[in-house]
Structure 1
């Protein structure tokens, strides 16, 4: 991994991957849903949409054509803590990809006439979530778990906030947040660092340094208990979730191993118990998210309304079991092998390497090579799993939310 800082605060990262003829390139802005206010929730996501409506030199169609005609791809997303724009191209087209990405990030038109149309697109996106209960249950659970904290804000925003969003607010957000101190630009693949830095600098040297977005405050009042949300659905969608430590915590490795044992595949405890032994569901899995100031671990399961209580009790039983016992030597050795294999296989993708490369910078942590990550996994002990499971997987600490018919 190579790293260069421009004088205006722009951070440039690259990782050369031998044997590939392509590159994944991304620009990250330290601005996401958690940096917004309740009044302008959804602004970061709507701004991400708006930059694709055209720039000073490209129309929306020209943006779409710019890389697709070369066999490449262009995409973007907004998260709780950042916004990202990425491209994947052949190595010979890295300069073209950087030109397009820089144009999007630095010179969007942000016209009011485009906002009127794109607002409708986002409202359709919100409506789609409303019609997709296995997405909606996570939205509602996150809002209620975090209990007023910014991590509970919807990334898409609300119907009311999006309908009321003004073009002037998006232009202000762009000028305040899309600045040097907030930019991380990375590439992974067949890329030469010095050439990449020169190319990035040719676009980014004139960017104002600006002020870096403040770190989100630590949560202090996450909720636990049981909440029922009445909705006419064929299944009851259930999410268990609890606050967990941030990305920087050394307990992250133990939590990942525990999550994998519980619900990380067909051989996991929840899959075998709730689906194979009891036949109470088709889909059940664990999940975890690690942010800069906190994290979240949990379980999702969908079952018919008549069996919701039995399914919930089965999940609680497995959570109690692991909270009381942790992992045995045999279970720990097996899951370490599984997770290490998954990590190594995932890193064969330039896209995965790109996201991993940027992740350390976005969380203000030193880069860890593959050997460092594998060593961190190997260092987890049975005592660690017992301590961490008791703290974060005790069902009494979780908020269980059920979305379905009363």
Structure 2
């Protein structure tokens, strides 16, 4: 049992008359709140010929509604000091606002108007096409961003999870205003929405506000159906680009969020490459001086995931860095973690969860993602209990299963040869 009081986190979950879940997390010690409208639609739900359309919808929604221009939307948020933003992931889209508590009713009505009533005017779509194209090019200029996008394509092939969230320059060039409008119509309805709020808000007042604001939103169509990507063979990919370093990415497919092994994988990732005391950082950076930036990460979707290792190194040191990564994976697969490493990883994850409760945006995000992934808001204290329940045998079984170097696909970006 965690010693920190669980009373600081006790969200209320209800449903509006049209079935939209509303989760209210009251934090009486603050004067503000974070509110989000979540849509169960992301990159993996796009038609194959419209890569990037989910992100396109998110961008263009802020352009215009029947009663608000772009400037009016911005003023309605910023005249009361609110901060509005949105993001698209592979599996959902979130529109959110940070605001002072007294402005929540007006701000929530504006946010709902943006999410539910956008006018996808062809001129606005063309403006956003230019903006998104520049966003794509900026990511392509960042080798670390680019290698992860390339790596996802390597791991998932033609499945929508293998497509960059922003799409590609070619796919975005071919998305029409009708494509944007149709994706919104197909996915933005009562059966796909969740509303979450964290902050100094009265639950009854907010639920009444949400009911009044969203009462006309109805479910449409069949429940969202998703197919897991097929397993692909291990592969190696090497590219040359105008970069200063060699960029290394190793990846292996692992089970998804709903698999019971996920907590062992989270701890394994923390010990292997998340933090200053992680094995990869100690060996590659602190002892060998081979890399400034090296880490591992675990990306879990509902039905599958990727365990990845990234390092950026001087090109002449690439082979030494690759050898160290190979050695560390082989070592942890063969011998597992030491008990002290597991204890440290558990404490890191526990601290991260508890400290996240000090951020209203993080709390609001826990509510929404938990509803989509598990059907209930995440309780960070339950998560901590499940992390603490992982044994050394559990995590070492995961290491034996997933850390053999021969199971990992490799992607390399090397500096282009000099023209001189």
2:320 paired with 1:310: yes
The match for 2:385 among 375, 378, 386 is: 375
The equivalent of 1:210 in structure 2 is 220
| Large movers: runs of 4+ above 3 Å | 364-368
Decide whether the 8 Å contact of 1:76 with 1:86 is kept in 2: yes
CA–CA separation in structure 1 for the residues paired with 2:181 and 2:378: 37
Partner secondary structure for residue 19 of structure 1: coil
> Is the 1:225–1:396 contact (alpha carbons within 8 Å) kept by the matching residues of 2?
no
Equivalent residue for 2:280? 270
2:92 to 82, 87, 90: 82
Give the one of 93, 97, 120 matched to 1:110: 120
Name which of structure 1's ranges 70-79 and 57-66 shifts more when overlaid on structure 2.
Answer: 57-66
1:398 equivalent in alignment to 2:401: no
| Matched residue, 1:178 | 188
* 8 A contact 1:74–1:87 mirrored in 2: yes
Report which stretch shifted further, 356-365 or 182-191. Answer: 356-365
SS of 1:359's equivalent in the other structure is helix
3-state SS of paired residue (1:275): helix
Residues 317-366 of structure 1 show CA distances to partners (whole Å, capped at 9, x for unaligned) of 11111122222222211221122112111221001011111111111333
1:397 CA displacement = 1.5
Q: Do the aligned residues in 1 keep the contact of 2:366 with 2:378 (CA within 8 Å)?
A: no
In structure 2, distance between residues paired with 1:9 and 1:309: 56
Secondary structure in 1 aligned to 2:209?
Answer: helix
Pick one of 339, 345, 354 that aligns with 1:335. 345
SS at match of 1:53: coil
Alignment partner, residue 360 of structure 1: 370
The secondary structure found in structure 1 opposite 2:48 is coil
**Where in structure 2 are there 5+ consecutive unaligned residues?**
1-10
Deviations along 1:109-153, whole A, 9 cap, x unmatched? 110011111100011011111111111000100001112222111
Q: Following TM superposition, by how much is the alpha carbon of 1:368 offset from its aligned partner in structure 2, in angstroms?
A: 4.0
TM-score, with length taken from structure 1: 0.97
Q: Is residue 78 of structure 2 the alignment partner of residue 68 of structure 1?
A: yes
1:125 aligns with one of 131, 135, 154: 135
Distance 1:316 1:9 in 2: 50
* Conserved 8 A contact 1:91-1:191: yes
- Cα RMSD of the aligned pairs, angstroms, is 1.4
Match of 1:193 in 2: 203
The Cα of 1:212 is off from its aligned counterpart by 5.4
The Cα shift of 1:370 comes to 2.9
Instruction: Quote the residue 2:359 is aligned against.
Output: 349
Match of 2:396 in 1: 386
Q: 1:24 aligns with which of 28, 31, 34?
A: 34
Secondary structure class of the residue paired with 1:229: strand
Taking the aligned partners of 2:101 and 2:233, their CA distance within structure 1 comes to: 48
Contact 1:332/1:382 (<8 A) preserved: yes
Q: 1:395 to 1:176 in 2, by over 3 A?
A: same
What is the aligned partner in structure 1 of residue 238 from structure 2? 228
Establish whether residue 141 from structure 1 lines up as the match of residue 148 from structure 2: no
Supply the distance in 1 between the matched residues of 2:394 and 2:191 (Cα, whole angstroms): 37
Which residue in 2 is equivalent to 1:244?
254
Once the two structures are superposed, what CA deviation does each residue of 1:216-263 show, in whole Å capped at 9, x if it has no partner? 212222342322112231111111111121112222211111111111
Alpha-carbon distance in structure 2 between the residues aligned to 1:213 and 1:266 = 44
Higher deviation after alignment, 326-335 or 161-170: 326-335
Cα distance between partner residues in 2 of 1:77 and 1:212: 25
Does the CA contact (< 8 Å) of 1:327 and 1:385 recur in 2? yes
Whether the 8 Å contact between 1:238 and 1:402 is mirrored in structure 2 is yes
Deviates more, 1:194-203 or 1:323-332: 323-332
Cα separation, 1, equivalents of 2:62 and 2:376? 33
Structure 2: distance between partners of 1:223 and 1:2: 45
Query: 2: CA distance between counterparts of 1:164 and 1:317?
Result: 45
Q: TM-score of the superposition, structure 2-length normalised?
A: 0.93
